[in-house]
């Protein structure tokens, strides 16, 4: 019996792999790979998830929430999904440029139904992996074909992911003045000054509406001057439109700047996202448009966009594009969608008003007018990084370090607590 026992022990020791291979374990192809820092925006949500404080608020990522703080699946989306399910479609590969019904409707939404560009066929619009994918394809395209200038001018500040996207594509990043921290508003003169010095043919990035992260948009007269100056400087305009409908609640109003620039003869490139305005975040629905000189050029550009797309992901995913196309192309669904976008924008406007009212109630004497003046999903509170850190550590209120809050995360249920926290760190 004793012998059996000891042989068992010996055999288990022999079969215990980790002890034996510890020395080999140390050597790996990846020993020099550093731990990457968490994404500044998406990392906020991940930290929020780990927090156990029942009063916690997530004001990080720009995803719409209803007044119960829940994700909102649009009714028109559910209806579209039911319609699609009934059709029993196959799952064959889409073309590299995506679903035709979607790309046509996507262009029309941005440019307007009877835009001359669409009528003359001088735009090429491809389906992309939401806004990020669109920006990336655009960046790759410019990097490869816009060889006369390598600089992309972003507004200061801009969406955090713009910089790494363009840099990874091989472009150089520069900035033009945009936000005035003194007024928490638009530094119009500063912007004009900087833009007037941008070298010809450089790429200038403009947020079509609901500027991210500041929520500060130029007024129409200011857009007109910018368009004029940009033309004088002969710059290539890259519009990022991720919030059409979300800013004012009105699709056409939010696309006004894009349409004005085209009218004035700018052949722009444009990124669109349907993540927010259709709530299709995880389905990755977007479009990338190049407005060309004529239809012939559009064909050449299209062929090159396909060459760029193929080695990244071959062709885009169907589900979200099909939902979006159904909504855009079915009159009563489209109408319902316009109503729902309007509703989402309105709730956000209401929350802005409530937040300011509550801050006053808390006794804050600071000027919070910018919270109401700013537009879209985000609000640039003006909070400093130390104040943001306190808000997170002491109140479990999560936002990005730059003081940006997603108004969509504010509800009538948490706005009081939010005001408390903000007042506490700013008084």
Partner 1 sequence: IMSLFGEVPQATPVAVFKLSNDFKEDANPKKVNLGVGAYRTDEGQPWVLPVVKKVEKIIVADNSLNHEYLAILGLPEFRSSASKIALGEDSPAIQENRVGAVQCLGGTGALKMGAEFLRRWYNGNDNTKTPVYVSAPTWENHNAVFANAGFEDVRPYKYWDAEKRGLDLDGFLGDLESAPKHSIFVLHACAHNPTGTDPTHVEWMQVAEVMKRRKLFVFFDSAYQGFASGCLDKDAWAVRYFVTQGFEMFCAQSFSKNFGLYNERVGNLTIVARDSDNLKRVLSQMEKIVRVTWSNPPSQGARLVAITLNTPELFAEWKDNVKTMADRVLLMRASLQAKLQALETPGTWDHITQQIGMFSFTGLNPKQVEYMIKERSIYLMASGRINMCGLTTKNIDYVAESIHETVVNVQ
Output DSSP code: residue 283. G
**Cβ atoms of residues 184 and 380 within 8 Å:** yes
Distances (CA, A) of 18 to 10, 21, 196: 16, 5, 65
List C-alpha distances in Å: 369 to 184, 187, 238, 391, 414: 9, 16, 30, 21, 20
Q: What is the dihedral of CA 127, 130, 136, 142, to 10 degrees?
A: 50
Question: In the bound complex, what is the minimum distance in angstroms from residue 161's beta carbon to partner 1?
Answer: 6
Q: Among residues 90 and 114, whose Cβ is nearest to partner 1? A: 90
Q: How far is the CB of 297 from partner 1 (least distance, A)?
A: 6
Within a 13 Å sphere around the CA of 205, how many CA atoms are in the beta-carbon half? Answer: 33
Of residues 17 and 54, the one with the C-beta less far from partner 1:
17
83: Cβ contacts below 8 Å, ≥ 6 apart = 326, 330
Strand partners for 172: 151
Q: What are phi and psi of 405, to 5 degrees?
A: -120, 145
Closer CB to partner 1, 228 or 394, in the complex: 228
Angstrom distance (rounded) from CA 355 to CA 256: 29
Residue-by-residue DSSP string for 108-159: HHHH-TT-HHHHTT-EEEEEEEHHHHHHHHHHHHHHHH-TT--EEEEEES--
CB of 404 to partner 1, least distance (A): 17
Strands 397-398 and 57-58: parallel
The string of DSSP letters for 298-320 reads HHHHHHHHHHHHHHHHSS--HHH
CB of 115 to partner 1, least distance (A): 18
Closer Cβ to partner 1, 196 or 314, answer by number: 314
Q: Which residue, 274 or 368, is less far from partner 1 as judged by CB? A: 274
CB atoms within 10 A of CB 52: 6
Q: To the nearest 10°, the Cα dihedral for 287, 291, 292, 295?
A: 70
The answer to whether residues 275 and 281 touch, using CB atoms and an 8 Å cutoff, is: yes
Q: Are 205 and 139 in contact (CB under 8 A)?
A: no
Contact 211, 373 (CB under 8 A): no
Catalytic center residues: 159, 240, 276
Nearest approach in angstroms of CB 119 to partner 1 is 19
Nearest approach, Cβ of 411 to partner 1 (angstroms)?
A: 17
C-alpha 168/C-alpha 179 separation (Å) is: 25
Nearer to partner 1, 12 or 28 (CB): 28
Closest distance to partner 1 from the beta carbon of 346 (Å): 21
d(CA 137, CA 149): 17
Residue among 88 and 219 whose Cβ is closer to partner 1? 88
What's the DSSP call for residue 114? T
By C-beta, is 50 or 91 nearer to partner 1? 91
CB of 127 to partner 1, least distance (A): 11
């Amino acid at each position: 019996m004793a012998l059996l026992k000891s042989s068992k022990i010996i055999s288990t020791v022999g079969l215990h792999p980790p002890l034996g291979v510890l020395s080999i374990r140390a050597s790996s192809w990846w020993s020099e790979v550093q731990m990457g820092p968490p994404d500044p925006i998406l990392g906020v949500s991940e930290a929020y998830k780990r927090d156990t404080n029942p009063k916690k608020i997530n004001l990080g990522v720009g995803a719409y929430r209803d007044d119960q703080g829940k994700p909102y699946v649009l009714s028109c989306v559910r209806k579209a999904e039911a319609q699609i399910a009934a059709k029993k479609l196959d799952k064959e590969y889409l073309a590299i440029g995506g679903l035709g019904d979607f790309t046509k409707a996507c262009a029309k939404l941005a440019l307007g139904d009877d835009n001359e560009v669409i009528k003359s066929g001088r735009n090429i619009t491809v389906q992309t992996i939401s806004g990020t994918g669109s920006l990336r394809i655009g960046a790759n395209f410019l990097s490869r074909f816009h060889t006369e200038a390598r600089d992309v001018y972003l507004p200061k500040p801009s969406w955090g992911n713009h910089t790494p996207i363009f840099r990874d594509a091989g472009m150089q990043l520069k900035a033009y003045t945009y936000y005035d921290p003194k007024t928490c508003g638009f530094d119009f003169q500063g912007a004009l000054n900087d833009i007037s010095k941008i070298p010809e043919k450089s790429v200038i990035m403009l947020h079509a509406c609901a500027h991210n992260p500041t929520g500060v948009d130029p007024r129409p007269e200011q857009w007109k001057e910018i368009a004029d100056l940009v033309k004088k400087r002969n710059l290539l305009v890259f519009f990022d439109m991720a919030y059409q409908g979300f800013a004012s609640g009105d699709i056409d109003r939010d696309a006004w700047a894009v349409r004005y620039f085209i009218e004035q003869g700018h052949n722009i490139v444009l990124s669109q996202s349907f993540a927010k305005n259709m709530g299709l975040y995880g389905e990755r629905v977007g479009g990338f448009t190049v407005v060309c000189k004529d239809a012939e050029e559009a064909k050449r550009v299209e062929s090159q966009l396909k060459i760029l797309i193929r080695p990244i992901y071959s062709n885009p995913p169907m589900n979200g594009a099909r939902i979006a196309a159904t909504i855009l192309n079915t009159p009563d669904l489209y109408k319902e969608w316009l109503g729902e976008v309007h509703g989402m924008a309105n709730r956000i406007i209401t929350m802005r008003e409530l937040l300011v009212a509550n801050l006053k109630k808390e006794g804050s004497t600071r000027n919070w007018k910018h919270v109401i003046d700013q537009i879209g999903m985000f609000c640039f509170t003006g909070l400093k990084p130390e104040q943001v850190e306190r808000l997170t550590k002491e109140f479990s209120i999560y936002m990005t370090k730059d003081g940006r809050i997603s108004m969509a995360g504010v509800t009538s249920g948490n706005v009081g607590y939010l005001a408390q926290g903000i007042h506490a760190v700013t008084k």
